[in-house]
C-alpha cells in the first residue's frame, strides 16, 4: 500500500538566534531532505520540538514546508495529543494547508484503556478524511497500543499506517500478520528499521535521515528487493550513526550534528538544552570518525 512511501524523516524545527522559528531555514532543510531521497517529511513531531511550538507557529511551519516541497514529497502533520477534541481541531486546521496526512500519537500521561484509545483514534479518523498514521511509542506515552486495538483501527479506511516505536519485534510481527495488507508499518527507531522490514514493515520514520538519507534509502530498497545480505551490510555501516543520534535526548544530537555541518537550525527551546562540553567533544569525534564532519579538524 505505502501511501506515504518508505523513507520519511521526522524533521527538526530550525530556530533563529533569538529563539523564533526560522521558516526560511525550515524550507531549505525540507528541500535538502527531499533532494537526498526522502519520500516524505513528518512536521511538528517531537523531533521538531512540537510541544514547545505555539499553534500559529505549527501552522505556519506546515504551510512553509508544503509550499517548498509539497509537490515532491508527502507532508505528514503531527497533530495528536491526549485531548481528542483538540487533536481533531488541529488536524482539521492542518488539512486546510494541503498536508498529505496526519500522524496521531497514543494519548500520553493519562494512560487511557484500549477501548478509549480505539475511540480516540476513530473519532479523529471520522472527523478528518485524510490518511492517518498512528504513532505507538509506549516508552514516552506510558501506554502501548496493543495489537488487537490496532487491528480494529485498521478496519477504518483512512487509518493507513502505524509508526511502531515499541521496540517489540513480536508485536510488529503480529501486526504484520494480522493487518499488514491494511496498515503500513513504519519503524520508529532507526536501529530497528531493518529487523522491522524483515518481519513485514514498510519503512521508517527516521531521525538519522537528516544526515544519511541516501544510504538509508539504499538499505530500504535492498530490503524491499529481498537482498537482505546487502541491506544488512548497509545497516551495519549505519548502525553507529543510529546510536549516535540518541546519545542524549532527541533532537539534541541531530540538531547539533546539522549545526556542525554548517546547517542553520539554531538551538533548542527549553526544557531542552545544549550538550555538555564533554558530550559535545565525544559526539564530534564520533561524527568525524563516521565521515560526517569531513572538513573539520
Which of 271, 251, 248, 176 minimizes the C-alpha distance to 211? 251
Which of 58, 13, 1 minimizes the C-alpha distance to 186? 1
So what's the pLDDT on residue 2?
77
What is the chain's mean pLDDT, rounded? 96
Alpha helices in the chain (DSSP H): 23-35, 55-69, 84-95, 114-127, 138-141, 147-154, 169-179, 193-198, 209-224, 228-244, 252-260, 277-290
Q: Which entry of 23, 118, 135, 186 is annotated as an active-site residue?
A: 135
> What are the residues whose beta carbons fall under 8 Å from the beta carbon of 57, sequence distance 6 or more?
21
Q: Which entry of 58, 118, 163, 186 is annotated as an active-site residue?
A: 163
Q: 7-227, superfamily in CATH?
A: Aldolase class I (3.20.20.70)
So what's the pLDDT on residue 115?
98
Question: Known catalytic residue: 288?
Answer: no
Question: Known catalytic residue: 118?
Answer: no
Spell out the domain ranges in the chain. Answer: 7-227
d(CA 12, CA 66): 15
With vertex at residue 251, the alpha carbon angle to CA 143 and CA 249, rounded to the nearest 5 degrees, is: 60
Cell numbers that stand for 206 in this block: 527516521
pTM confidence score: 0.96
So what's the pLDDT on residue 1?
59
Q: In the 8-state DSSP scheme, what is residue 131?
A: -
**Low-confidence residues in the chain, pLDDT < 70:** 1, 295-297
Amino acid at each position: 500500500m505505502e501511501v506515504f512511501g518508505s523513507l520519511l524523516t521526522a524533521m527538526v524545527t530550525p530556530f533563529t538566534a533569538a529563539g523564533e522559528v526560522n521558516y526560511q531555514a525550515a524550507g531549505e532543510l525540507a528541500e535538502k531532505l527531499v533532494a537526498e531521497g526522502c519520500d516524505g517529511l513528518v512536521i511538528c513531531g517531537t523531533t521538531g520540538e512540537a510541544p514547545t511550538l505555539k499553534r500559529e507557529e505549527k501552522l505556519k511551519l506546515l504551510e512553509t514546508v508544503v509550499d517548498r516541497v509539497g509537490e515532491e514529497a508527502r507532508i505528514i502533520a503531527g497533530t495528536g495529543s491526549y485531548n481528542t477534541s483538540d487533536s481533531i481541531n488541529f488536524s482539521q486546521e492542518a488539512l486546510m494547508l494541503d498536508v498529505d496526512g496526519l500522524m496521531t500519537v497514543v494519548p500520553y500521561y493519562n494512560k487511557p484503556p484500549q477501548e478509549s484509545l480505539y475511540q480516540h483514534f476513530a473519532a479523529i479518523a471520522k472527523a478528518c478524511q485524510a490518511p492517518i498514521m498512528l504513532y505507538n511509542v509506549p516508552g514516552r506515552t506510558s501506554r502501548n497500543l496493543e495489537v488487537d486495538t490496532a487491528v480494529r483501527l485498521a478496519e477504518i479506511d483512512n487509518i493507513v499506517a502505524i509508526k511502531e516505536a515499541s521496540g517489540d519485534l513480536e508485536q510488529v510481527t503480529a501486526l504484520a500478520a494480522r493487518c499488514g495488507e491494511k496498515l503500513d508499518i513504519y519503524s520508529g527507531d532507526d536501529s530497528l528499521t531493518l529487523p522491522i522490514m524483515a518481519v513485514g514493515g514498510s519503512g521508517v520514520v527516521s531521525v538519522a535521515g537528516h544526515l544519511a538519507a541516501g544510504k538509508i534509502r539504499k538499505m530500504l530498497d535492498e530490503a524491499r528487493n529481498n537482498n537482505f545480505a546487502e541491506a544488512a551490510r548497509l545497516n551495519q555501516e549505519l548502525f553507529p550513526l543510529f546510536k549516535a543520534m540518541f546519545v542524549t535526548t532527541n533532537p539534541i544530537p541531530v540538531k547539533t550534528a546539522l549545526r556542525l555541518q554548517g546547517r542553520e537550525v539554531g538551538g533548542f527551546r527549553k526544557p531542552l538544552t545544549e550538550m555538555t562540553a564533554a558530550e559535545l567533544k565525544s559526539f564530534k569525534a564520533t561524527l568525524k570518525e563516521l565521515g560526517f564532519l569531513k572538513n573539520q579538524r
